[in-house]
Chains A and B, each alone.
Chain A
């Protein structure tokens, strides 16, 4: 059973554009929703995370939008830059999963100059 569905699998955006990546989850008991950024040859780096008590969180050019009723959350990258080209993973976790993170399948983002 796939607990986290991430889309799209790959994304190409022009420099300055908005990149949007979506995730959907099934278990309403999850209460921690992070996004990770991974460059080739590196471990995943925590980008931004949200708890279910807020619907949106913004840090610089990165915004998480959270829809609790739809069990969906998304990552928006504003003013996308070539340096943002990486693989992005959503994840879910919380007390119900013994604090383990369950990862989405990943989105490979390419920002063209």
Chain B
């Protein structure tokens, strides 16, 4: 199955700044997804990252706040812009497992905004 490398694993950032999270996959995948997991909560989909086109955002998430790049079939970035303490969460990248066997997740980026 696909192996995901997500960087950074954690960061502490000042409010008002931006952080870019990288998701690198060891094989080409069609679909890449970005999720947010607030402390002690479930996973909420932020957007679907499409190679060669604009990302598709879920209700409550906007491109200005969470710009996404997907330059090729193995890589994507999520930027958390103009951060506030409410953005403190775990951000997770997910991809579809080749062969239609489901979806796998990266280990996540634990973001703390102070």
| Chain A residues close to B by CB (< 8 Å) | 32, 34, 36, 41-46, 49, 89, 93, 98-106
Min distance, Cβ A104 to any Cβ of chain B, angstroms? 7
For residue B107, CB closer than 8 A to chain A, the reply is yes
**Chain B binding surface, main DSSP class:** strand
Interface residues on chain B, size class: 20 to 34
Whether A100 contacts B48 in the complex (CB less than 8 A), given A43-B92, A89-B42, A106-B42, comes out as yes
Which listed residue (B31, B42, B108) contacts A103, Cβ 8 A?
B42
For residue B103, CB closer than 8 A to chain A, the reply is yes
Give Cα distance in the complex from A49 to B108, angstroms: 22
B108 in contact with A46 (CB, 8 Å): no
Min distance, Cβ A4 to any Cβ of chain B, angstroms? 9
29 A/B residue pairs, CB under 8 Å, sorted by A: A32-B102, A34-B102, A34-B103, A41-B110, A42-B107, A42-B108, A43-B4, A43-B105, A43-B107, A43-B108, A44-B43, A44-B92, A45-B105, A46-B97, A46-B103, A46-B104, A49-B102, A89-B43, A98-B48, A98-B56, A99-B96, A100-B45, A101-B33, A101-B43, A101-B94, A103-B42, A103-B44, A105-B42, A106-B42
Whether A99 contacts B31 in the complex (CB less than 8 A), given A89-B43, A104-B42, A105-B42, comes out as yes
| Chain B residues close to A by CB (< 8 Å) | 4, 6, 31, 33, 41-45, 48, 56, 92, 94, 96-97, 101-108, 110
Contacts of A93 in B (CB 8 A): 103
A100 in contact with B105 (CB, 8 Å): no
Residue of A nearest to B9 (CB): A41
Contacts of A32 in B (CB 8 A): 102
A101 in contact with B45 (CB, 8 Å): yes
Which 5 pairs, one residue from A and one from B, show the smallest C-beta to C-beta distance?
Answer: A43-B105, A43-B107, A103-B43, A43-B108, A103-B42
Min distance, Cβ A85 to any Cβ of chain B, angstroms? 16
Residue of B nearest to A89 (CB): B42
